[in-house]
Amino acid sequence: ENKEPQPTDDDLQKIIKSNEFIEYNKSIELDMCYKQRLGAYKRESDFLKTEAEFDAIKNKKTPDYTKWINKVEEIKTRFPKP
């Protein structure tokens, strides 16, 4: 009979702490990604949406969000989720 050794309580605690550390790092990376995106949106894309809406209201047309959508996609590519 060939039995593999079973992990000890100490081994299991180390695995749990390691997994908690990995999850914690992932949450920090995701938070950083969102903060970077938010800053870029404010600097680079929000005004494009506002301009599209203003122009549409002024000209009584449907807003053309193409420039804004392209910029948001660019920002998401630059700051991908981990």
Per-residue pLDDT of the chain (82 residues; tens, 9 = 90+): 667 888 888 888 888 888 888 888 899 999 999 999 999 999 999 999 999 999 999 999 999 999 999 999 999 999 999 9
**Which helix (H) or strand (E) covers residue 27, if one does?**
helix 9-40
Cα–Cα distance measured from residue 70 to residue 73, given in angstroms and rounded to the nearest whole number: 5
Q: Assign residue 14 a region: left if phi > 0, alpha if psi is -120 to 50, beta otherwise?
A: alpha
What pLDDT is stored for residue 55 in this prediction?
A: 97
